[in-house]
Amino acid sequence: MESSDATHIHFPSPNDENGMMPIFDKDFLRNLKDIPKEFYWPSEEIVESSKEELRVPVIDLGVLKTGDEAAIAKAAELVRNACIKHGFFQVTNHGVDPNLINAAYQEMDTIFNLPMTKKLIAKKKPGTQEGYAGAHGDRYSSKLPWKETLTWIYDYNKESKSQVVDFFDAFFGGELHRTGLVYQKYCDAVKEFSPLVLELLAISLGVDRLQYVKFYEDGMQLMRCNSYPACVFSDHTLGTGPHNDPTGVTFLHQDQVGGLEVFVDNKWLALHSRPDAFIINIGDCFMALTNGIYKSCLHRVLANKERERKSLACFMNSRVDKAVRPPEALISPQEPRKYPDFTWAEFRDFTQEHHRADPETLDAFVSWIRSSNPPPE
């Protein structure tokens, strides 16, 4: 678990004594004899895994296409039970071409094997979301994750059918144009099947089937490629520290190296995914959309001593200025509103400027809103 000194962001200087931004150079780090202090996690915070597995339901999305109401009701019940407890499930028959998924993984090698000088051209600037980041060194100076990321926004409101290609061309020139084409198709494919997941979530909650489809139809994806290089210091660091996703709904595809763990019943449980499945998990914003019925759960990624791990994470978010508010059907005298109205832009900025993502982020944000906007006397 993250300690309080790492929870609140103070924007410590990320520069080393030579005035240079810390660089996640995996070739350099691979040859070190001891872990750099910036990546060290205290042993009490790297709680040992339970060696048990979190068994989550695997939902065949084909039942929504066939219209088999009995099968849909059974799937919805499985999703409801999982989301009330921990917010994770898997979906198959999603329609994303396996060859496209394989191509997306292959292009990660193209990205993360670039010379560091070229990766830094695309460096993410503090306070922004798009670009390259090595170990989140642009935001933190301690307990850094052992990973590299490249993140971009896929906006549902843009008329451009090449916005991902345009992102790669803008950051890398024409060198990664083919990479951009692959990820354009990948983002298109995730957008194509995501309404089925949102419809299933609505059915499981007993609200209008299109409640969340309509809510997210003018939103966006925050798409992120994660590369976790092999780490000989895996006993002393983490690929990604314990956190809750602050976003809406996460669509994750991970390779078969493993390492994803979810904190359930006060222990860390491994979540192994099928190659033909996407992992779906609830973020803080969607928890608010369910009035707290569904859980945004703490999870982390272990570092692996011998093998690189790769994952493709798509975080679905609403339009930045749309009010996050649960449907009236989920509010009653017995279940009053748990969270005030807020927008994704407000919550996003809070996580960027005031609070490192953890189990208390949403509650801290609500307290911050209420203290910033006291009720009239």
Catalytic residues: 309
20 CB contacts (<8 Å, ≥6 apart)?
none
Strand partners, 91: 59, 278
Q: Tell me whether residue 188 is exposed, middle or buried, using C-beta atoms within 10 angstroms of its C-beta: 0 to 12, 13 to 18, 19 or more.
A: middle
9 CB contacts (<8 Å, ≥6 apart)?
139, 140, 352, 353, 354, 355, 356
Report yes or no: 350 and 284 within 8 Å, Cβ to Cβ. Answer: no
**Planar angle of CA 337, 202, 325, nearest 5 degrees:** 30
Question: How far apart are alpha carbons 339 and 365 in whole angstroms?
Answer: 10
Query: What b/e sequence results for 67-99 when a residue is b if at least 16 CB atoms lie within 10 Å of its CB, and e otherwise?
Result: eeeeebeebbebbbebbeebbbbbbeebebeee
DSSP labels, 74-129: HHHHHHHHHHHHT-EEEEE-----HHHHHHHHHHHHHHHTS-HHHHHHTBPPTT--
Find, among 227, 279, 233, the residue nearest to 113 by Cα.
Answer: 227
Containing 268, the helix (H) or strand (E) segment is strand 267-270
Question: How far apart are alpha carbons 278 and 312 in whole angstroms?
Answer: 10
Q: Tell me whether residue 126 is exposed, middle or buried, using C-beta atoms within 10 angstroms of its C-beta: 0 to 12, 13 to 18, 19 or more.
A: exposed
Strand partners, 254: 311
Q: Are strands 249-254 and 278-282 parallel, antiparallel or unpaired?
A: antiparallel
Residue at token pair 């203290």: 371
